[in-house]
Amino acid sequence: MLIGQVLGSVVATQKDERLEALKLLVVRVHDHENNPTEQYVVAVDAVQAGHGDLVLFATGSSARQTELTEGKPCDAVIMAVVDSWDLDGKNVYEKWREGP
């Protein structure tokens, strides 16, 4: 899995009918030191993530292993909202510190 920040949502009217009612979000990938990278993904939201949230997403066939995405043409799914992380005991990210 990778961590990224939710930057926006995708509206697509014409799409595979199995993707109807799924929320698609644009996620900018961050590295382990919380620096944004130039990598972006569109992922299905399975956890009601909000704009600006740092989220964990899984890619590949694993992304189909949720009730929401099972059997659907989806290769990236947001599966958790990140509260915090540390590296070697040193705090890198803390959600409450980011503010609304």
Partner 1 sequence: MYLARVLGRVVATRKVPGLEGVALQWIQPLDEAGEASGKALVACAAVSSGPGDLVHFVDGREGALACPRPFVPVDAAIMGFVEEAVVRGKHIGRT
Name the site residues for partner 1 (rule: CB under 8 A): 1-3, 31-32, 46-48, 56, 58-67, 69, 77, 79-90, 92
The residues near 49 (Cβ < 8 Å, ≥ 6 apart) are: 6, 25, 55, 78, 81
Nearer of residues 14 and 33 to partner 1, judged by Cβ: 33
Nearer to partner 1, 17 or 67 (CB): 67
Query: Rounded to the nearest whole angstrom, what is the least distance from the CB of residue 14 to partner 1 in the complex?
Result: 26
C-alpha 10/C-alpha 82 separation (Å) is 21
Half-sphere exposure of 26 (CA within 13 A, CB side): 9
- The residues, ordered by sequence, that sit 6+ positions from 80 with a Cβ below 8 Å of its Cβ are 47, 55, 56
| Shorter beta-carbon distance to partner 1: residue 16 or 83 | 83
Nearest approach, Cβ of 43 to partner 1 (angstroms)? 10
Min dist CB 5 to partner 1, Å, is 14
